[in-house]
Amino acid sequence: MFNFNLFKNDNKVEGDNQPLYRNAKIVSDEDIVIKAGTPYECALWVKKETKSGKPADFVSISLKTNDFLIAKQNEDNEEEKNTTDIPF
């Protein structure tokens, strides 16, 4: 799973091409590999205050493999193998 925060860009002005939220320094604890053909789940939370109650304006993003869809794909593949006719 990979989690990170994007913070409100105070330099954003209406009409420019800057993002509303950004994080100029995301450092991962481990290598991140996104595999082609693998389903992922992405979630976004809007935060208006920190855990301690201080006002804030940022979004938290989470990206992880969708284990439910992976298991379903494996089941579907197994069913397909079991229903394939054996040629004589």
Verdict on whether the full-model pTM lies above 0.75: no
Give the separation between CA 39 and CA 43, rounded to whole angstroms.
Answer: 13
Sketch the domain layout of the chain as residue ranges: 2-83
**pLDDT band at 33, cuts 50/70/90?**
very high
At residue 88, the pLDDT reads: 63
At residue 61, the pLDDT reads: 95
Q: What is the pLDDT of residues 34-81, one digit of tens each?
A: 999 999 999 999 999 989 999 999 999 999 999 999 888 878 777 666
Query: What SS3 class is residue 8?
Result: strand
Give the separation between CA 45 and CA 51, rounded to whole angstroms.
Answer: 13
Q: Which residue bears the tokens 């208006």? A: 48
Q: Residue 3: which residues within 8 A CB-CB, separation 6 or more?
A: 60, 61, 62, 63
